[in-house]
Structure 1
């Protein structure tokens, strides 16, 4: 029997229903004070530019959806606000003053702790555009349209009347000098990310799995994402995804010739879930720099315990783990550094040289509020 070529292709994009997209555009045009919430579908649909164009046409602030696995809008843009809190009451409070919430490419919504409240501010309505029928079906509030995010935003932009008032400058801090004054040791997470930001390159990929330090990271220069396809993390809170994902991303950078360095911020608790990914990266000669803020505890779960008024939960301390030895055992270059100048030097060298480097940095053990104010 002769061979048969069975190679075939399938389109996976779904265009928006014309009547439904026109209805959504009419709601946006009638809104007095709309707000946009962007999610990972936009990044996956290659809709970075279209998301910017839509936000500027509507002249509405843009929030990242709670626990967003990708960043789909430049965080240095004047219209960017922040990441929405992952709880019902605080999320609704963050959106107060808006009469229309337009969610594109994100679930409605990802929640973590139970904090009572209204799903939306009083008088507000919600529109959702998602490529997932499942997410549309389980949205807790609002009307949904199943469509590819990029295609939907292209059509919306044709139907929306531009709003011409000028946006206010962004308030997201990205400077580092004042943070590094009068340093005491061990460093705080905020100081560590400021130290790393001194030598952050123009183009890089950031992968993070350090849940208790996300607010400090996102407010640093390192964590301020300004270019498309530059940020990856787990959707919601499933630990163990990011280290193998970083290996896949490093493969893609190598094979595509882009060769952007992959920077991983990995908590010492998260590090324990998939450390064998380091071996794979070493064996394939990939370029990955892993920085491990080590507080010897599951800080995010201690924060959760404080919120639930159940402190001193057993099993959340992680003393005696030697990150450097573990990394060396998998073949990586590994270092312990606790002083700012040493961290900067090692980080700069790791970014400039190929291979896998792991830098273990002790940080303070302060337990933060679970919901950042």
Structure 2
């Protein structure tokens, strides 16, 4: 049995969604990218109140996970870019808190005293609810809960959401905020139930639709997640975070289909992903992987170049560009790309190995050329 050819460079391969990257033997294969970036959570009330939406964390097939501002947001962008939950800013416009038939959510005044008495005496939540002498509106509670979430204080946010829902039981945005908070506490099914209740009360709640999509994607239900993202964007196309979430989910779905040898279906998913978010670098990377695997090296290089244009630190894309050039016999170009990969990550083992092979081959080639003279 013939073993792998040690002269062949390693391409960084794709991994299944939510899997870890694996080492690459010295033969051409495709795999996972896993660099990440994070954003800074919002800290002021005005921005925090708008963070009623989860940004999806990409799986490790993506290169730049989306960060998680910890306000009211329900992780692949490999993905996770990258596995992060981010909040996009821009709360769903609603001048008043609504129940299912469009009426303002009713205030249960009789519950106010019981709610305040049930909270720990020295808790921030109790102080907030009682300090003004008047029980806050649903909008004020939502704003404060978002502020607590943005400051990584989900337990305080949950106390506020629970208190608010005792008084404003039909407020859809409070239910959505509670879902965001529960997800921050790792209680995914309860988070999903709360966001579904928000959607029942307000079927046009785009944040709830997005957040349900995020929770479903985390459970591996990619098709259902995509459906919820699409529905959210139909209701309001101007949602950058939801567009990126859709691109992340479609990219992961495309990778899954590719691994099932359904290349045409995978290409359809990647194309829709780039329609949703043309700046999503991991999708270009995965297109490069497909074209490299199907013996279309020049298109593969175009896709990898676009990925690195959008993410100049995309080490896996630089490595794969080097591998493609090496296979085309362009050793100096290959070495240049490996150098770029190592400039991003000096310990990236695949590029270290590939660089050694390419330098050895170049030295052999130069000696042969000198001998011929």
Q: TM-score, normalised by structure 1?
A: 0.25
Q: Quick check: which one's helix share is greater?
A: 2
Q: Indicate the structure with greater strand content.
A: 1
Looking at CA atoms only, which structure, 1 or 2, has the larger radius of gyration?
2
Q: TM-score, normalised by structure 2?
A: 0.25
